[in-house]
Amino acid sequence: MTASTPATDADADATFKQFSMSEIKQILALSKNAKSIEIKLSVPASGHRATIKSIGLDPVEAEPRQVFFFDTPDMALNRAGIIVRARRIQGGTADTVVKLRPVDPATVDAELKHSESFKVELDIMPGGFVCSASYKGVATGEEVLDVTSGEKPLRSILSKGQRAFFKEHAPAGIDLDSLLVLGPTFLLKAKHKAEDFRYPMTIEMWLYPDGSRILEVSTKCEPDEALQVGLEFRAYLADKGIAITESQQTKTKTAMDFFRAELDEINAGGLLHGA
């Protein structure tokens, strides 16, 4: 199905029909050890305005956020599946995360799973799925700005648990306070409850420095509801005439691809020599 092809009822179960039986078994196995399931779909650029209108979202409900990533000059963390992020939120608050992706949830320390700051989540999208482990923290917007401006070290906005999680999984020899600031990237995020869909939805519009954008529509459910909710969600979007392409862009990957290209250009010019 292309971006110009309208969605139909026949497409309603496409989210899971693209998976083989072996993959469906993997999803079910991963779900057993995950805390939550997020089913997400990115919408082609040609359908952004129509999507917002068809699901009944008032654009002024969206909350602006500013996201910063942190990595080495050669993106060593990204290659190792480690994401370090700080996010400023409207109103002066902020949050931080150290994320490992992909991860086998069965191998995650049982004690860590019980922490309110730690979450194992399975993301499912058309044609793909991935499990991640996230260690979250809180900060203020001002503290994030102090770090990104170089006035304070990165570790100052990360908790002891986050720092330990980073040390355990990051490539050897990488120090938190030596990481480069990548960004910011701007986004708009809204929570939405449609009258004709029983689960709350999250809509995010990511606006990248090069002018590109991604609109993602997602919903969360309990692990034992993954397949059923996935089918209902896809059917809901199809009923709204929202076409979903098989080629899905993810928010973080798109951001990291942009920053990788930017760093490659800088590295080629020797501006980060010795960093």
Residue ranges of domains in the chain, CATH in brackets: 9-268 (2.40.320.10)
Rounded to two decimals, what is the model's pTM?
Answer: 0.88
**pLDDT of the residue at 70:** 98
**The pLDDT value given to residue 234:** 85
Instruction: Classify the C-alpha dihedral 58-60-61-65 as positive or negative.
Output: positive
For residue 185, give Cα distances in angstroms to 67, 70, 154, 220: 5, 12, 18, 24
Task: Supply the pLDDT for residue 159.
Answer: 98
Give how far Cα 263 sits from Cα of 148, 191, 275, Å: 17, 34, 12
CB 177 within 8 A of CB 153: yes
For the chain, which ranges sit under pLDDT 70?
A: 1-17, 245-247, 270-275
- Dump pLDDT digits (tens) for 68-100: 999 999 999 999 999 999 999 999 999 999 999
DSSP state of 173: T
DSSP output for 193-245: --TT-SS-EEEEEEE-TTS-EEEEEEEEE-GGGHHHHHHHHHHHHHHTT----
CB-based burial of residue 161 (10 Å sphere; 0-12 exposed, 13-18 middle, 19+ buried)? middle
